Amino acid sequence: MPGLVIVGAQWGDEGKGKVTDLLAERAEMIVRFQGGNNAGHTIVRDGEEFKFHLIPSGILYPEKTCAIGNGVVLDPRILLGEIDGLRRRGVDVGNLKISANAHLIMPYHVLLDTAGELKLGKLSLGTTRRGIGPCYADKALRLGIRVQDLLDEKILRAKIRTALASKQQALRELSVQRRKLRKEAGEGDREAAGQAIGDAPDPRLDLHAMTEEHISYGHRLEPHIADTARLCWDTLDAGKTVIFEGAQATLLDLDHGTYPFVTSSNPIAGAATVGAGVGPNDIEEVWGVAKAYATRVGAGPFPTEIEDAAGRHMLERGHEYGTTTGRERRCGWIDLVALRYAVRINGMTSLAITKLDVLGGLETLRVAVRYRSREGALLDSFPYHQSILHGATPEYEELPGFDADISGCRKAADLPSEARAYLEYIEELAGVPIRLVGVGPGRDQVVWMD
């Protein structure tokens, strides 16, 4: 399995971290290819929980190379915080490599992200306000600052100066907005008002201070900066496996998701080639990770969303709160219309179904098999037009639930027959084999299917 991509098959938070961690055992190198520190992977190892926002999940294997590819946007302050956090817990980060071509999230990106969301008011997208979207926008505008720029003070200063110039108007508007908010909040609440709009101390936007600060980040990151595409080629050419680890998920893809309620990069499998620097032929397997139900964070269409007792069961038993933001996730039944779409658009070869244990105790399990449009038409495939998707209601098949606590199951035969029937139904309609099933958060709480 030389090149293997792992993607989210739904709306994110499917448990890609754990699946990557398990498959990484057989790989030589693990590469993140898109997104930024808006991702949040959780891995539980020997009862200890690790949360990663930027660093690839494979970092817990000291002998494997972990890379942050050119397609990722990274906030150097956050990355250094993650590196320090891992070091404090005794994890060796010597094998972490960072693409010299990855773009940097600068302090003004974070401010602009927050300001943009506030400006949109009720129409806000629910971004994580970490500056990811504005950073990708600057990349497309050719105003981006890249990791390699941290190593040359003259270049860095000139690039920051150019990037800042085009943002003066927006930043001026932001400071007016900030003053207004502070005035409204009164003296005592100044701090709270500042936090509400992501206020950063102004010196961080000063050209000189920002350059100095980033040069010091460059010194610290320098041992990790590398030509990560070449590292991928060398590993693949030696016949060894590279895992391309996606963040977010298919239905949040900038081009193929539920635009505009999407992320600002392409999490689908094809993007691994661009975001890591390999060719399509280098990819042999694509694993999609889906929960046994569905969740979504933030705004946007979610046809199978439920707010009844079953939805609360999923929320509570599944601890459906965001790793990065702590936000409550919206919950619903598994959506096979959307899953079939994800299978096709990613060229998926295998499925990993996570959190099956969470459904234990529900009397009936519902599976969305098609949608009905507002006009009454039956839709077997995922609608490309947003108005149709917004008006679509799912049609369900019902399957018997299972009562037992399945967290101790380790073989398919250990699973209750209803759970097996549920998986077989999903596999049949999705059209790809389920190779792995999660029955609990622990690394060992997994069933490898035959």
Q: Which residues bind ligand GDP (CB under 6 A)?
A: 8, 13-18, 40-42, 44, 323, 354-355, 357-358, 438-441
The least distance separating ligand GDP from the CB of residue 350, rounded to whole angstroms, comes to: 16
Q: Which amino acid is at 72?
A: V
What is the distance between the alpha carbons of residues 271 and 264, in angstroms, rounded to a whole number? Answer: 13
Spatial contact of 359 and 366, defined as CB atoms under 8 Å apart: no
* 219: annotated active-site residue: no
What does the DSSP assignment read for 169-231?
HHHHHHHHHHHHHHHHHTGGGHHHHHHHTT---GGGGSHHHHHHHHHHHHHHHGGGEE-HHHH
Comparing CB distances to ligand GDP, the nearer of 148 and 324 is 324
Locus of tokens 């499925």 = 351
Closer to ligand GDP by CB, 101 or 346: give it.
346
H/E run at residue 8: strand 3-8
Q: How far is the CB of 300 from ligand GDP (least distance, A)?
A: 17
Q: Is 109 assigned a catalytic role? A: no
* Through-space distance between the first and last CA atoms of the chain, rounded to whole angstroms: 18
Q: Which is nearer to ligand GDP, 17 or 277 (CB)?
A: 17
Nearest in space to 423 (alpha carbons), one of 318, 294, 292:
292
Ranked by CB distance to ligand GDP, the top (closest) residue is 438
Strands annotated E in 277-324: 285-291, 294-296
User: Considering the complex, what minimum distance in angstroms separates the CB of residue 437 from ligand GDP?
Assistant: 7
Residues with Cβ < 8 Å from 177, sequence gap 6 or more? 115, 118, 197
> Distance (Å, rounded) from C-alpha 152 to C-alpha 253?
34
Closer to ligand GDP by Cβ: residue 50 or 108: 50
We find the least distance from the C-beta atom of residue 85 to ligand GDP, in angstroms, to be 16
Of 21, 41, 282, 335, catalytic: 41
Q: Which is nearer to ligand GDP, 56 or 198 (CB)?
A: 56
State the angle between helix axes of 153-165 and 168-185 in degrees (0 to 180), rounded to the nearest 10: 70
> Smallest gap, in angstroms, from Cβ of residue 247 to ligand GDP?
7
Annotated catalytic residue: which of 13, 75, 138, 357?
A: 13
Residues 436 and 412: their CA atoms lie apart, in Å, by 10
User: 18 or 139: whose CB is closer to ligand GDP?
Assistant: 18
Supply the minimum distance, in Å, between the C-beta of residue 333 and ligand GDP: 17
Catalytic residues: 13, 41
